[in-house]
Amino acid sequence: MSTLTSLARAVAVAAGTAQRTCTVRHVHVGARPLVFVPLALAGEAGAPLAAMAGADPQAPTLLVVAEPRDRDQRFAFAADLAAVVLRYVEGYLAAEEDTPGREQATRYADAPQLLVPNPAGIAFTRLLGRSTRFRRTEGPYAVPASVPLLGRWLTFFAERAESPASSLMLAATDMLAAHWATGQSPVEDLNLGALLGWIDPPPGMSGAQAAAMAEDPVRCPPAGPATDPTFDNEVLDQRMLAVRTARLAGDGRAYERARAALAEALATQLRPTWALMWRAVALLRGLPGGEHVRARWDADKDAFTWHARHVAAGGPPQPRRDGAVAAARRLAGLERVQEMVAAQRAFDDPLVMAEHRLAGEAFAGTVTAAEPDRVDRGGPRAVLRPRITVETGDEPRADRGATFTSPARPGQQARIVAVTAAGGRTRIVLELRGGMGRSLTPQPGSVPAVGESVSYAAFGDGYQPAPAFPAPEDTPWTHGGPPAPYVPSDEEAREDWS
Amino acid sequence: MLPSVSVTKSVETLERRIVALRAAVREAVLAGDRERASTLRRDLRAAERAWDDALAAAEAKAAAEAGAAAEAGAGAEAGAGAGHADAAADADAVHAAATAAAPAPQAAARGRGSLLPLREQVHEALSLLTVPAAPRLIATVHEAFFGGAFPSARLTSLKRDEERSFRAAPLARPYYICAALTADLLAPARGLLAISTWPMERRVIGSLSPRVDFLTAAIRVAEAVERLPAPVPAARRLLWRFAASIPGAADGAASMQPHEITEAALAELAVHQAADRAARQAAARRAREQLGDAEQLFGTRIGLAAGHRAGARRPAPRRRGR
Amino acid sequence: MTRTAAELAEQATSRILADLGRARRGVVVDSPPGAGKSTLVVRAAAGLAAAGEAVMVAAQTNEQVDDLTDRLAAASPALAVGRLAASDYAPPARVTRHRQVRLSTQLAGLAGCPVVLSTAHKWATVRAGETWPWAIIDEAYQMRSDLLLRVAGLFGRALFVGDPGQLDPFSVVQTERWTGLSWDPMQSAVAVLLRHNPDLPVHALPVSWRLPAAAAPVVAEAFYPFTGFRAATGPGERRVSFRTASFGRNAVDRAVETAAAHGWALYELPGRHAVRTDAEAVAACAALAARVVQRGALSHSERSPAGAPVTAGRVAVGTAHRDQVQAVRAALAADGVHGVTVDTANRLQGREFDIVVVLHPLSGRRDATAFHLEAGRLCVLVTRHRHACIVVARAGIPELLDAQPSAEPVHLNVPVRFPDGWEAHQAMMAHLSQWKVRAP
Amino acid sequence: MNGTEARLARIRGRALAKTHNARTIAALASNPGCARRAVMDAAGVDKPRIAAYAGFPAPFGQSRFALARGNAFEAQVKANGAAELLTLLREHLGLPIPQAHYDDLGEVGGNPSLDLRHARTKALLARAAASRGDAGTMFDHPLLRLQVGGRYAFLEPDLIAFQLHGRFHVVEIKSFAVIDGQADGDKVAAAAIQSAVYVLALRDALAEQHIPAEAVSHETILVCPKDFSSRPAAAAIDVRKQLTVLRRQLSRIARIDDLLDLLPAGLTFDLDPDGEGVPRRSPADLAAAIRQVDAAYVPECLSTCEMCYFCREEARGCTAALGRAAREELGGVEHVATVLRLAGAAGTPGAPGGTVASGTAGTPDAPDLAEAAELLRRAARLRAEALHTDAPRAGTPGREAG
């Protein structure tokens, strides 16, 4: 959040509809995303109750666990879900492409994308992955081979969802809230129906009215995984009881009837969210994609390729938790990615850049003077060091010596030489290096010309190399020493799923 | 979605009514209007029953036309009937014990088949355990070793019936399912059942007795498991639940050995026995001196003064699982 | 008084040095503000070197490393000192003036130096060859666990020194992925070290040479509830006098004089909610700092009983946010005052001044966020001064604290952090309110 | 009944006073700045009923599945003399084997009276404290009391454990799962502050018998299902911070008079029930009465306070309704309308950029708004400028998504 987005919220209140906080889309939306809407049984850890899943808005697959406390039925659910998810994922294992910049390296030409309604949906996916990926496929407590495989893929998606650069798994509320500001609070934005109500209210309704309507759990069932308590108490409980009763009575027909009635009851809770999900997808597709989105999606394709090949090569499932080295390495990666994405968003999107300008981390203005051919002969050899003067109405934190970067010329460094403020305007003299070719005269257009309107930021979207970490087996005594090598344990395999 | 797509007008109207009623009930609940909610709830249940019966009938009819009239019709009715019969009882049982997987069909069948009256099934289980026990354990033991399942909820009323019949005609029966008594006040110990023919020492409960009785029960169950001709999963599950709470009894459900569990239990018993026996003997002596026959079996109660009754509402129930 | 304080400190130090000899793995030393941390590091390094052990010294910033290098070289002129640095590093005079200090970007270039100093980040780039018998890690509470992971392979045993009361290291990444893990990479180097080696000896330096007698007790109570410490000097040993009289006793003068007399002043602005760069508050900070300089303050202390001029360089203004820094700098420049240090708590860590003006993190705030409440932030701000500290705040902070909801999530297997920011703020406000000067 | 109590009784009206429990006491800390909530809690007002009658029923409900799971789990770990719990305590508190005592304080001599149970709880705890561990280890359904704003609230911890040569430990049993050593931080926080309530009450009970507070450990024991099973696992929780928070809030409740003095004398939330108990007071009139007491609505209330929908409706148009962060970022300005006026209405749909923003619209009225105005105008100008920049650097066009 920033003053700019908060102002947008205020405007939304007055306007009665959500306001954009981005001019472009900063996430990748695939051509065939897999939408996954899970429901969980209240009170139990990751106990699936039902789900709607599929890549075709017209043909969702409905999965139901008639008796969620029955271990076998839960694994049956996992197997059914695996059938949907794995078939979808395998669809991306066909076409490959060369990996640019790497010799003889190929990767898959596209990657799957998993969309859930909200962050809780991601958390549930992680739990489901955790509870299935260690299962054994033979011996005691055996499950179908697809179950642990599903667990590994769900875990993969959920872990990618932690990276701000990844679009492999996204929550609809996150995506929408990142591009629009509503007239309500972030807490209330977690309600997908209310959020969409603000962004895209039904004709003849204000965003506020649409949001209010979406808060009525009877008319608009919550987007899960938690179900509405009154649904549990007044509907679900009776339906489940009927199923159990029919089974105890050993009456096959009554059992089928009761099961169908339960499925229908759950479907009523899932269908509205299913529709909302595809509306969200359509809204986001309506925005033009930011310039760096594709590069980030390429990184997602690499990650997908790596994991697919890891699985194919018989690699072990993801451990329960990161070891010392893995954790440190992952943190370093996340930190680098986070800075990179923040910069890329700003470079792609003037509205995002505006937030940095307001915060004094960037400025935009007009070039009032330029010495494109200036050469610095102070050093051992002469170097091209053009200078330009930019006049801006912004109030940047621009200290002498600080280095800035321009979205228009990301390869070029601009060092601040002088800053003079007068009458609400600030004059900033910048010395440029790089991105102008080899010779002592700059390539045409590589130095901003007088009159050109430019923007500069105190951050660049440049790539920093990953820091070096010890190998896991060299974990030092300060961090508990080398970890015991991972061996899947019986306990993990049999861990009863209450 | 439903088989009832191909179905009579009545079912469709019923379905519309059910949908409407469900919404109405939930709205009433959300609005905090309890009275209205419960009225609507009654209508809803009625509608749901009607809908189910209508479907059953329809199917039966279809089946009949297919020429399997007698069999299918009977099945459907039995199904519907039995269904609602259990529904009520089962409901409580299930809510009292959410995590207990519903009994497997065949076990259930055997349960219904068992001809013994409930009090004798309880007697069977308690006699195996040889110590006072809670309804839940009694039910589990009976299902594991005597193949009869009964919702433990039904046992709560049993003790009251026994006391009534005893007071009507004392000692008319060879045994009564009676209470265990708290050692301090000789009052009925909450939620424990015992057999009247047991010595008083066994029926009074001191502060160590729950542990001692748990260990004793573990030994009896272990012995019973060893006596079984063929392994019964339910019985081993039960034994594992004991073993898991006895130091050094077993490493895992798969690898546990009944005799090792017995030894471990005996080892801990040795630590508690003396202190527990002393407390129980003293209490038993007091009981025999101070109490009449009925009180010896069903305990005394500190009289509830009106004031106390008023103050006796429990603290507001605490939300769980949130 | 001072003598016994000196004895106390000496005892502690020699106990620590003795422990080094016995240490199997290492020793941790908690050091309250200005308690002679660097002195300890220098003595330990020299001592180990004298005993024929090679020592690698790691601090967190080049400035810290340069300070240590300077002091070590000065303390043991015969010792060959290596200064490992990145290629773009320009050594300051206080380093280059020592002939015995050798400079290199490669460890190979420093062969034969029994002591080599560098930043932890530079050390992390050194390929682990043969390991150093000893390492000294300075500012270890500001070093992050994952950085320690990268350097710990270089040494066998280590002395960890740092101030537990200051700001924890932080990350821009928000995740609970590692919460509860003993090796959570977001915790401090000392935290991870002690969770895996709970038996390591932990010492505490008992005497603060920086904080005056007026400050030590309240700071100790608010921020170091378990260890505590005392001031080296007694009441009245640190004074501030002025060479010029006040021109018209306005609130600013009264605040400056209150601080001079008592070591503390709370300059209270009328209570209201304000933007972060609250113009009045910013102006007040600038005016107070300026006035201290303009009035030609003299600091009288054990170092200079006759009094040393409090130049602009000996005055600092501390804030919570960078935009506040910028605003105060602008205001000072407008007043034509130059040389006063203005910076955020994070950047003031480890620095020392005679008089410090603090813009209270909660001043004008409507809600106290975790950031504003962090005990370490306040601790840094109110422990930079040798003589006096003037806190600028809008009225209403106690009420704000009272209305503060307590809703932070609680995680399993995560040691509770003490002191609690809320408690620390309450304690400081309660103390400061004695020295309140109301601004018009 | 002293003045304050009489006053609170009048505010509450004819309705029965809601007795506090650990959860409601813990909730005191969730929004201490809110006078409305403080007064209602102190007076023991039935907030859900009031909110519903005023037309804004609380959005909270609980699934019976969660309820059932919770009760079943507690029953399971406490079954057979708390056999499962004892195993955990032996690991965590290092209980020696002989300490396996179990006392059920759920009723006394078959009598569930709260006063009897409380008296007996105190007696047994004192005996245990005086003993050498041979007089009690686990106390099931103990009953404690705590004074909250002049009235006593009865509290029932899940269990209290006594450790030889050691201390009493409050044991809290929850049915949310601990998976790979971690649980939902908010749920643990709720459990921690509830446990802290019990620690306070337990210390009070012992203090009456001159047993020092240290006899009750500030480490409480949380018992939860492990991973995806129903096997219990235990974790120690340090509740020192929660204890200070609670003491603070309880002392505030005790100082409720300061708040009452600010309220109109006749204020009452009485529903004026007729013979059958049917309210005769008009909802509008009740709502008016509620508005007499200031609320401090923030979106966090939506998950903690039964009055939240009422207050949210009241707060429409306030920046607070957009969240604490937003209010802060909008310069602490109270009302959205003011924000927009100060911002020069720039950024509203269709409004041309800089011109309006830089214009003289929204000259701040109060001096303390001047800076906010400056900030907001700049924000509005930047926003408008960016929104009207012709070519956002769009790479791939929308459809075949980038």
Does the distance separating the beta carbons of D322 and A496 come in below 8 Å?
no
Q: Which whole-number Å values give the CA distances from C307 to B291, C150, C299, in the listed order?
A: 93, 47, 5
pLDDT on residue A439: 85
Q: Residues with Cβ < 8 Å from C129, sequence gap 6 or more?
A: C107
Report helix, strand or coil for B295: helix
Measure B11 CA to nearest chain A CA, in Å: 13
Which of B18, B49, B84 marks a domain boundary?
B84
Residues A436 and A294 in one domain: no
Chains that touch D (3 or more CB pairs under 8 A): A, B, C
- Structure tokens of B319? 């939300």
Q: For residue D182, give the chain C residue with the closest CA.
A: C412
CA distance C324 to chain A (A): 11
Same domain, A135 and A8: yes
3-state secondary structure of D312: helix
Structurally, chain A folds into a number of domains equal to 2
Is position A480 within any domain?
Answer: no
Q: What is the mean pLDDT of residues C344-373?
A: 94
- Asked if the Cβ–Cβ distance from C323 to A332 is below 8 Å, we say no
Please report, rounded to a whole number, the percentage of residues in chain B having pLDDT higher than 90. 42
A373 contacts A386 by C-beta, under 8 angstroms: yes
Per-residue model confidence (pLDDT) at position A107: 94
CA dist B120 to B123, B157, B289, C93, C252, Å?
Answer: 5, 15, 30, 98, 92
Residues 6+ apart with CB under 8 A from A282: none
Establish, for the pair of chains A and C, how many residue pairs have beta carbons separated by less than 8 Å: 87
What angle, 0 to 180 degrees and rounded to 10, lies between the N-to-C axes of helices A192-199 and A252-285? 40
List the single residue in B79, B98, B101 with the smallest CB-CB distance to A251: B79
Residue of A nearest to C194 (CA): A478
Whether A108 and A225 share a structural domain:
yes
Residues A421 and A313 in one domain: no
Residue closest to A45 by CA, chosen among D233, C410, D236: D233
Domain boundary among B26, B59, B84: B84
- Verify whether the Cβ–Cβ distance B2 to A261 is below 8 Å: yes
Task: Determine the 3-state secondary structure of C38 from DSSP.
Answer: helix
Q: What is the mean pLDDT of residues D16-40?
A: 87
3-state SS class at B307: helix
Give D399's pLDDT tier (boundaries 50, 70, 90): very low
Q: What angle do CA B313, B316, B322 make, to 5 degrees?
A: 150
A179 and A312 in a common domain: yes
Q: Give the separation between CA D19 and CA D147, rounded to whole angstroms.
A: 11
Cβ proximity of A294 and D395 under 8 Å: yes
**Which of D80, D131, D286 is the best mutation test for B, with the most CBs of B within 10 A?**
D80
- Chain B CB contacts of D23 under 8 Å are 318-319
Contact with chain B for residue D104, Cβ under 8 A? yes
Distance to chain D for B319, nearest Cα, Å: 7
Chains D and A touch (3+ CB pairs under 8 A): yes
Mark whether B20 and B124 lie in a shared domain: no
**How is chain D split into domains, by residue range?**
78-247, 323-401
In terms of domains, do B125 and B5 share one? no
Do residues A254 and A376 share a domain?
A: no
* pLDDT, position D330: 93
* Whether residue A283 sits in one domain with residue A410: no
Residues B257 and B298 in one domain: yes
Mean pLDDT calculated for residue range B202-225: 96
| Of A486 and B242, more confident | B242
Task: Please tell me which residue, B252 or A120, carries the higher pLDDT value.
Answer: A120
pLDDT recorded at residue A490: 55
> Which chains pack against B, by 3+ Cβ pairs within 8 A?
A, D
Could you tell me which chain C residue has the CA closest to the CA of A481? C196
- 8 Å CB contact between C332 and C366: no
Give B67's pLDDT tier (boundaries 50, 70, 90).
Answer: low
Chains B and C touch (3+ CB pairs under 8 A): no
Checking if the pLDDT of B111 tops 50, the result is: no
Is residue B26 less than 8 Å (CB to CB) from chain D?
no
B16: chain A residues, CB-CB within 8 Å = none
Position B169 scores a pLDDT of 85
Q: What's the pLDDT score for residue C18?
A: 92
User: What is the number of other CB atoms lying within 10 angstroms of the CB of residue C63?
Assistant: 13
Question: Which spans in B114-154 are helix H?
Answer: 118-129, 135-146
Question: b/e for C93-120, b at 16 or more Cβ within 10 A?
Answer: eebeebeebbbbbebeebeebbbbbbbb
8 Å CB contact of D67 and A349: no
CB-CB under 8 Å, D241 with C420 = yes
Question: What residues in A contact D394, CB-CB < 8 Å?
Answer: 24, 288-291
Q: Do D332 and C273 touch (CB under 8 A)?
A: yes
Say if B and D touch: at least 3 Cβ pairs within 8 Å: yes
Q: What are phi and psi of B197, to 5 degrees?
A: -80, -10
Question: What does the pLDDT read at residue D350?
Answer: 37
Residue C422 three-state SS:
helix
Quote the pLDDT of residue B59. 75
Reported confidence tier of residue C373, pLDDT bands at 50, 70, 90 = very high
Q: How far is CA B316 from CA B305, B321, D45, D332, in A?
A: 22, 16, 14, 40
pLDDT tens sequence across C86-133: 988 999 999 999 999 999 999 999 988 999 999 999 999 998 677 899
Per DSSP, the three-state class of B90 is helix
- Asked if the Cβ–Cβ distance from A7 to D380 is below 8 Å, we say yes
Is the pLDDT at B286 greater than 80, yes or no?
yes
CA distance D134 to chain C (A): 32
Condensed to tens digits (0 to 9), the pLDDT of residues C393-414 reads 999 999 999 888 877 899 999 9
For residue A463, is it within any domain?
A: no
Chain B: closest CA distance from residue D131 (Å)? 14
Write the ipTM: 0.88
Domain total in chain B: 2
CA–CA gap between residue D85 and residue D221 (Å, rounded): 11
The answer to whether residues D181 and D160 touch, using CB atoms and an 8 Å cutoff, is no
Task: Residue C180: list chain D partners with CB under 8 A.
Answer: 181-182
Of the ranges A206-210, B31-35, B38-42, B161-165, which one carries the lowest mean pLDDT score?
B31-35
Sequence length of chain C is 440
The reply to whether A226 touches chain B by the CB within 8 Å rule is no
Identify which of D181, D238, D371 has the shortest CB distance to residue C180: D181
Nearest by CB to A257, from B45, B52, B75: name it: B52
Choosing from B84, B100, B130, the residue where a domain stops is B84
The reply to whether residue A328 touches residue C146, judged by beta carbons under 8 angstroms, is yes
Same domain, B69 and B131: no
Find the closest chain D residue to B181 by CA distance. Answer: D109
Residues of D in contact with B318 (CB under 8 A): 21-23, 156
Angle CA(D196)–CA(D198)–CA(D199) in degrees, nearest 5? Answer: 60
Residues B124 and B262 in one domain: yes
Distance from CA of A186 to the nearest CA of D (A): 7
Give pTM, 2 decimals: 0.90
C241-245 contacts: CB < 8 A, separation 24 or more? C241/C297, C241/C298, C241/C300, C241/C307, C242/C295, C242/C296, C242/C297, C242/C298, C243/C295, C243/C296, C243/C297, C243/C298, C244/C294, C244/C295, C244/C296
- Structural domain that includes position B35: 1-84
Instruction: Give yes or no for a contact between D33 and D166, defined as CB atoms under 8 angstroms apart.
Output: no
Same domain, A311 and A375: no
What tens digit of pLDDT does each residue of D290-314 get? 999 999 999 999 998 999 999 999 9
Average pLDDT over residues B31-47: 89
User: Does the residue A332 lie in any domain?
Assistant: no
Q: Are residues A392 and A293 in the same domain?
A: no
Highest mean pLDDT among A386-400, B97-111, B298-312: A386-400
pLDDT by 10s per residue, chain A, length 498 = 689 999 999 999 999 999 999 999 999 999 999 999 999 999 888 889 999 999 999 999 999 999 887 888 889 999 999 999 999 999 999 999 998 877 778 999 999 999 999 999 999 999 999 999 998 888 777 889 999 999 999 999 999 999 999 999 999 999 999 999 999 999 999 999 999 999 999 999 999 999 999 999 999 999 989 999 999 999 999 999 999 999 888 888 999 999 999 999 999 999 999 999 999 999 999 999 999 999 999 999 999 999 999 999 999 999 999 999 999 999 999 999 999 999 999 999 999 999 999 999 999 999 999 999 999 988 788 899 999 999 999 989 888 889 999 999 988 999 999 999 888 899 999 999 998 988 888 999 999 999 999 999 998 876 678 889 999 999 999 999 998 876 655 555 555 543
Which residue range forms the structural domain that includes residue A93? Answer: 3-322
Average pLDDT over residues C310-318: 96
Q: Assess whether B78 and B128 both reside in one domain.
A: no
Average pLDDT for residues C333-345, to the nearest whole number?
Answer: 94
